[in-house]
Chain A
Amino acid sequence: MQERLTANHIAEQVFDHMVPKILVEQPDIARRVNAVIGIELTGENGGYWTLDLTDTPVIERGKTKEPKCTLTAQVDDFRDLLTNGSVRAALDAFKKKRIQASGHLPTILKLEVLLKSLSKQNNVVA
């Protein structure tokens, strides 16, 4: 069943509700990433989430653990990424610096499967 995201609170809907659910349904995702990743979404209704995708996956608000890498984007750009759901769109956003990454870049790319799962499960309400 599809989740309907509202543009205003997309970040918290995704990281407080949808990602934890996906990680339970698809435990392989965390096993394959096997790292702590920081997500920093700037702008209105943004925030910082720590994705601990190691043995027992946990998603927490705030920087609760030292991440191996951090992905930073504006909330609006993040919403576009989810709406589009394609790796090509993510690459274009990265090339144009609408997505920034720091730390171990290869680990960020392992989020591809999570991005695709999120994209399949939601449609964004503008």
Chain B
Amino acid sequence: MKAESLNSDLRDLIDFQAKAVSSHYDLPPKFFAGFLGPRMAYSCGYFADEDNTLEEAEENKLLLTAKKLDLKKEDTILDIGCGWGSFLFYAVENFGCQAVGITVSKEQAAFVNSVAEARGLKDKVRADVVHVYNMDYPREFFNKIVTIGAIEHMDDLHRVFSKSAPFLKEDGLMLVHGMTKPWSAREEELQGISSEVGEMVKEHFGVGYWKSLWELMEALEKSGFEILDHENITRHYQLTVERWLERLQENEAMLVDNIVPEETYREFLVFMAGYIVGFETSHTLCNQILCRKISCGDLRPALPLTRENIVLHSGKGCLCKKD
């Protein structure tokens, strides 16, 4: 009886989260195309230089992610919360990998699958509409997992990573990229002190759970992952959203009423501005964590001795070259 009740609660939670998150991401893709870069990456870019364009920052981020995951042609990738497929297509088109993305947004999955068909990549890439708690793939089917800008919608990171781990081969790599809160703010939330702004942000994105960095790392370790590398990319996200906001304002005439109501457009203006302030004032942080599935007692395959292969060096322009 208790198990049935728990399952029912979980089903309700999954339904709630899927509907809530979809309310944000099921807005027309043309609206998001009105402020995102050409890859439609709705997450932090990576700036080799403060003057990088949004397009360059998108390419840099994808390259950096690929380098951290040590992508190879034979890789099979799972992208949890794949959005409009920016990383899926980057991995398939630049490295020849096989890739599966999951999203709760029907609009996003339809977009990814239609682009895959249009580009003749149906046998290489697809998006499934499924909640992370319900995903079901063969054991050790993937050797790389990535989740970019999606953990913010996930209530229980331990459940997410424990659910993901069996689908990953032993010694497979996982890259987790997402926003966190400083511990002081998170501690207040855990004590039941909610901020009006925090609640509004959650409503804007349908549903949101911003954890602290150590909670994220704890969930990874407890789920059988060894943390290999961490990079704080908060400043990169501030620069990214500054460019989104500029583009949103530039495209106002094209977007308002043609694609979304003016109130929706203006709500996005405020939330983007709010995120810029949040990053600037350390209310919100962004991190990339690279880890691998390994158990205590397992032989440790050799890793590079330095971070040289997982960094992008600063400099002018785009770093988007694959060495």
Contacts and interface: CB of A to CB of B under 8 A. Distances in A.
B197 A87 contact: yes
B69 to A, nearest CB: 33
A97 B245 CA distance: 18
A95 B196 contact: no
B249 to A, nearest CB: 8
Interface string A94-126: 111100000001101110100000000000000
Interface string A31-51: 010000000000000000000
A109 B270 CA distance: 8
B266 interface: yes
Contacts of A6: none
Contact of A86 (B196, B245, B273, B281): B196
A88 B273 contact: no
B277 A110 contact: yes
A30 to B, nearest CB: 14
Interface string B243-260: 001000000000000000
A91 B200 contact: yes
A97 B252 CA distance: 14
Nearest to A32: B281
B277 A109 contact: yes
A115 B276 CA distance: 19
B contact residues, range: 10 to 19
A58 to B, nearest CB: 23
A87 B245 CA distance: 20
Contact of B269 (A32, A86, A105, A110): A105
A38 to B, nearest CB: 17
B269 to A, nearest CB: 6
B266 A95 contact: yes
Contacts of A97: 262, 266
B217 to A, nearest CB: 30
Contacts of B38: none
B274 interface: yes
B273 A108 contact: yes
B70 to A, nearest CB: 37
A97 B270 CA distance: 12
Nearest to A105: B273
Nearest to B195: A87
B308 interface: no
Nearest to A89: B196
Interface in A16-40: 32
9 contacts: A87-B197, A91-B267, A94-B269, A95-B263, A97-B262, A105-B272, A108-B273, A109-B277, A110-B277
Given A91-B270, A105-B269, A108-B273, 13 more contacts: A86-B196, A94-B266, A94-B269, A94-B270, A95-B267, A97-B266, A105-B270, A105-B272, A106-B273, A109-B273, A109-B274, A109-B277, A112-B197
Interface of B: 196-197, 200, 245, 262-263, 266-267, 269-270, 272-274, 276-277, 280-281
Interface of A: 32, 86-88, 91, 94-97, 105-106, 108-110, 112
